Structure 1
Amino acid sequence: MSEEHTFGVEEEFLLVDADGRPAAAAPAVLRDSPEELQPEMVTCQVESVTPVCEQADELLEHLRAQRAQLVDGARARGLRLLASGTSPVEDTARLTPGERYRRIADHFRGLMDTVNVCGCHVHVGVPDASVGVEVLNHLRPWLPVLLALSANSPFADGADTGYASWRYLSMSRWPSGGPPPYVESVAHYESLVGELAESGAVLDAANLYWDIRLSPRHPTVEVRVCDVAVTAEEAALLAVLVQGLAASARSRIAAGEAAEPVPQEVLRADLWRAARDGLGGRCADPLTRTLRPAHETLRGLFDEVRPQLRDGAKEFAEQTVGKVLADGGGAARQRAAFARRGDLSEVVAFLAGQTEP
C-alpha cells in the first residue's frame, strides 16, 4: 500500500443518558468491543479508530460500522451516542482510571475542565518525517477552513456560546493548543517539542495538542483541528479533503514550491474567526490572504484538491460538500434543532438521530 494515498480517522463521541447528560459509562459500553473502539480521557467519552484506508468508500464503510457498534453498545445500556464537539447540557466529567490520565490531571490541574470535548483527527501517510514537516507547513494555512467546515459545538453547559466551535476555544486554552509555528526542518520540529516538554507545557510528544502535528506513533501527519462530524459522511469528507491537501502539498514540494509561512499569530486569529463563525460567516482564504464568505473559501479548498482526488473520491466530495452547504454546518443544524422548541432536548435528539443507523 503506497503511503501517498493512505489515510485514517479517529472520532470521539459522548455517551449521554435519556436527559442528554453525559454518562460515565465508557467501560461498560466498550466491554468486549474490538480494539479499534477505545476509552478516552473521561468516562463519558468513547473513541473509534479506523484501519488505514486508501479509498473514500472504504473509509466511509468503516466509519459507519464503528458508529453502529458504538450506538448498539450505548443502546444496550439505555444510553445514546452523540457526535458533538461539546456536551450541549451541563455535565461533570469523571477521569478515566489510569496512571497516564492521572498524571495529566495532576500536571494540568484546572484545565481538565476542558477535556470533555470531541474531535475528529485525520491521519495522512507520509514516507518520512522530513516530508511530513513540509506537508505540515503547506497544510497550516488551510486549517481555518477545515475548522469552519467541521464546526459542531455551539452549545456548552446548557447555553449557546455564540461560537460555532466552542470545542476549539476550549482546547486552545492548553499550553500547546492552537496552530504550530512554521517549521524549518525535522530538527527544528523536534527542538520545539523538546523545549515545550522542558517547560512542562507538554509531558511528551503524545501530549502535544497542536492543530496539526507529526503523529508520535505512526508515519503520518495528523490534522487535529476539526470538531467531530455530525455524520459519518461528513467525517469521510474531512478525511478526503485533508488527503487531497496533502497530495497537493507533495506535488508542490516536488516542484520546489515552498509553503506560505503564515505567522503563527495571524493563523491563530484566523482560527478564532473560523471557530466563531463556522460556515455561516467569513473565513481567511489561504490563497488571497483575505476574509471571504466561508463557503467561497471552502470552494477554493475544493478547487485545490480536485486534481488530486481519485477512485470516486471526487464525486463523493462534490456531493457531500454540496449537501453540507445546502443544510448548513453542524453548528447551524444544532441551532436549528434548538429553535424548534427552545429546548436543548431537541438538540440531543437531533444529534443522536444522526448517529443511529
Structure 2
Amino acid sequence: MRTGGTSTNAERSGSPTLTLGVEEEFLLLDHSDGRPVDRAPAILTLLGDEPRVKHEFLRSQLETVTGVCTDLGQVEEELARLRRLAANAAKDMDCHLVATGMAPQRGPRLCPVTADPRYLQLIARYGPLAAGPGTCGCHVHIGIPSRELGVRVLARLRPYLATLLALSANSPIADGRDTGWASSRYLRWTRWPTAVPPRVWRSVADYDAAVRRLILRGDALDERGVYFHARLSPRYPTVELRIMDACLTIDDTLLVAGLARALVGLAIDNERDGVPIKAVSSRRIAADLRTAARHGLLAHAVDPYTGSLAPHRLLLDGVLDRLAKPEPIARLLRCLALRGTGADRQRAMWVQADTPQHFAQFLADATLC
C-alpha cells in the first residue's frame, strides 16, 4: 500500500480528535461439536457486574462495548481486555467465544432468543426472519459535531461502505460448508427491510422523516430498529457504521475502526472545504456491496473522487493519500495484505481442520490474536 500522495492540503485529513467506540458481537460454540450453544446468560452471571460485556439477540451471542476512546491505542487495549474476559468466561462454561459473522455449523432451527421485551417484540412481529440463525457484526461509532453535519457525512460515506465490507468480510463458512461468499452474513443481514445503505438526504429533517416512514409502515419497531449500513445513532451523538462483519482478530477490528474514523474525518473536512465527489446511484452502491460480499478485496467499486471503477485495494490507497497522518492505518493494511482478510484465513482454517470441533478451536484461537 502506498502511504504518500500528491493531494492538496485541503483534501488531507488525519482527524485525530474524533472520538470513537466499538461494539463487537461474538458467537458461542460448543467445545464438543462446534455448534452454537445458548450459554450467554450463564456467562454473564459469571462475569457479574462487568458493564462492557452484554447480552445480544440470541442466547448464543455476546456483545462487548468499548468506552468512548480518543485514540486507537485505547481501542486496542479495550478490545483485547474484553475479548480475553469474555473468552475466559466462555471457557469456564465449556464453550468457545468466536469472532465470525455467521455460525460455521447449523444450530437449532429456532435459535433460543434472549428474554428481553424488545427482542420478544421482534420475534412476534418478524417471525422466522428474527428467529433464524444469528449474525454477528462490528459497529463503529464516530463522534460528530452535529446531526446536520452527520447527514452530509453519511452521503459521502456511501461509496466506501463496500470497501469496509470487503475489508471486514469474515463469514465464508456457514451451515457446515464454504458458501462461496466472503461475507455470507451480508446475505442474511440484508433480509431485514431496513438493512440498506443510507440515502442522500438534504437535511436532518429529511433523514428523520425517512426513519419515521419506515417505522410507520412496519419495517422497524422503532428508531433503533432502522438498521441502515451507516446511520445517525439513535442513542449517541455519533455516526454509526454497521456494515462490517465481526472481525476475526483484534488487529482486524482496529483497522476497521481506524479506517472508519479516517473516512468520517475526511468526509467532514471535504464537506467544509467544498471538495466535490461524484454522485453514485443507489443501484451502483447496492451492486458494489454485493460484489464486496462475494469477492472481498478482489472486488471493484466506484471511486467517489473520479467516478471510475477501481479495486478496493486502490480505493484504500486513495484514502491513505488523502490522510495527513496515514499511520497506523497504513501499517495495519500492510499486515492485512500479508495475512489475508478474515474470510481468507477462515478458508485456510477450514481446509486444515479435521473436524468441526477443530475449526471452532481455530476460530477461538484467532479471536484472541
Q: In 2 relative to 1, CA 280–57 (structure 1 residues): closer, same or farther, beyond 3 Å?
A: same
Instruction: Please give the per-residue CA displacement for 1:241-277, whole angstroms capped at 9, x wherever unaligned.
Output: 1111111111111113455442222211110010000
Aligned equivalent of 2:226: 208
Deviation at 1:323, TM superposition (A): 1.0
Greater CA deviation, 234-243 or 347-356? Answer: 347-356
Instruction: Please give the per-residue CA displacement for 1:15-41, whole angstroms capped at 9, x wherever unaligned.
Output: 111121111011111120411110000
CA distance in 2, matches of 1:29, 1:128: 38
Unaligned 5+ segments in structure 1 are none
Instruction: Please give the per-residue CA displacement for 1:110-154, whole angstroms capped at 9, x wherever unaligned.
Output: 211456111000000011110111111111111000100000000
Q: In 2 relative to 1, CA 113–279 (structure 1 residues): closer, same or farther, beyond 3 Å?
A: farther
**Is the contact made by 1:4 and 1:125 (CA closer than 8 Å) also made in structure 2?**
no
How many residues were matched structurally? 350
CA distance in 1, matches of 2:340, 2:62: 26
Unaligned 5+ segments in structure 2 are 1-14
Greater CA deviation, 340-349 or 328-337? Answer: 340-349
3-state SS in 1 of match to 2:105: coil
Q: In 2 relative to 1, CA 112–161 (structure 1 residues): closer, same or farther, beyond 3 Å?
A: same
1:287 lines up with 2:311 in the alignment:
no
Q: In structure 2, which of residues 51, 67, 89 is the aligned counterpart of residue 73 of structure 1?
A: 89
1:350 lines up with 2:356 in the alignment:
no
Aligned equivalent of 1:59: 75
Aligned equivalent of 2:337: 325
Greater CA deviation, 226-235 or 338-347? Answer: 338-347
**Is the contact made by 1:3 and 1:126 (CA closer than 8 Å) also made in structure 2?**
no
Aligned equivalent of 2:163: 145
Aligned equivalent of 1:165: 183
3-state SS in 2 of match to 1:103: helix
**Is the contact made by 1:205 and 1:216 (CA closer than 8 Å) also made in structure 2?**
yes
CA distance in 1, matches of 2:49, 2:295: 38
Instruction: Please give the per-residue CA displacement for 1:192-212, whole angstroms capped at 9, x wherever unaligned.
Output: 001101100011110011100
1:103 lines up with 2:85 in the alignment:
no
**Is the contact made by 1:41 and 1:115 (CA closer than 8 Å) also made in structure 2?**
no
Q: In structure 1, which of residues 19, 22, 25 is the aligned counterpart of residue 39 of structure 2?
A: 25
1:50 lines up with 2:62 in the alignment:
no
CA distance in 2, matches of 1:185, 1:165: 32
Identity %: 39
Greater CA deviation, 171-180 or 146-155? Answer: 171-180
Greater CA deviation, 127-136 or 143-152? Answer: 127-136
Q: In 2 relative to 1, CA 289–348 (structure 1 residues): closer, same or farther, beyond 3 Å?
A: farther
TM-score, structure 1 as length reference:
0.93
Q: Which amino acid aligns with 1:322?
A: R
Greater CA deviation, 108-117 or 11-20? Answer: 108-117
**Is the contact made by 2:80 and 2:368 (CA closer than 8 Å) also made in structure 1?**
no
Q: In structure 1, which of residues 112, 133, 152 is the aligned counterpart of residue 151 of structure 2?
A: 133
CA distance in 1, matches of 2:295, 2:228: 21
1:198 lines up with 2:186 in the alignment:
no
Instruction: Please give the per-residue CA displacement for 1:314-333, whole angstroms capped at 9, x wherever unaligned.
Output: 43222211111111111111
CA distance in 2, matches of 1:33, 1:327: 37
Greater CA deviation, 108-117 or 281-290? Answer: 281-290
Q: In 2 relative to 1, CA 347–286 (structure 1 residues): closer, same or farther, beyond 3 Å?
A: farther
Aligned equivalent of 2:21: 8
Deviation at 1:287, TM superposition (A): 3.1
Q: In 2 relative to 1, CA 176–115 (structure 1 residues): closer, same or farther, beyond 3 Å?
A: farther
Q: In structure 2, which of residues 107, 119, 135 is the aligned counterpart of residue 117 of structure 1?
A: 135
Q: In 2 relative to 1, CA 246–12 (structure 1 residues): closer, same or farther, beyond 3 Å?
A: same
Deviation at 1:4, TM superposition (A): 4.8
Deviation at 1:44, TM superposition (A): 0.4
Deviation at 1:109, TM superposition (A): 1.4
Q: CA RMSD in A?
A: 1.8
Deviation at 1:340, TM superposition (A): 2.2
Q: In 2 relative to 1, CA 52–264 (structure 1 residues): closer, same or farther, beyond 3 Å?
A: same
**Is the contact made by 2:353 and 2:359 (CA closer than 8 Å) also made in structure 1?**
no
3-state SS in 1 of match to 2:211: helix
Aligned equivalent of 1:235: 253
CA distance in 1, matches of 2:95, 2:177: 22
3-state SS in 1 of match to 2:164: helix
Deviation at 1:7, TM superposition (A): 0.5
Q: In structure 2, which of residues 175, 198, 202 is the aligned counterpart of residue 180 of structure 1?
A: 198
Instruction: Please give the per-residue CA displacement for 1:151-209, whole angstroms capped at 9, x wherever unaligned.
Output: 00001111221110011111111110121211111011011001101100011110011
**Is the contact made by 1:145 and 1:284 (CA closer than 8 Å) also made in structure 2?**
no
Instruction: Please give the per-residue CA displacement for 1:59-95, whole angstroms capped at 9, x wherever unaligned.
Output: 1101100101101110111111100000011112211
3-state SS in 2 of match to 1:5: coil
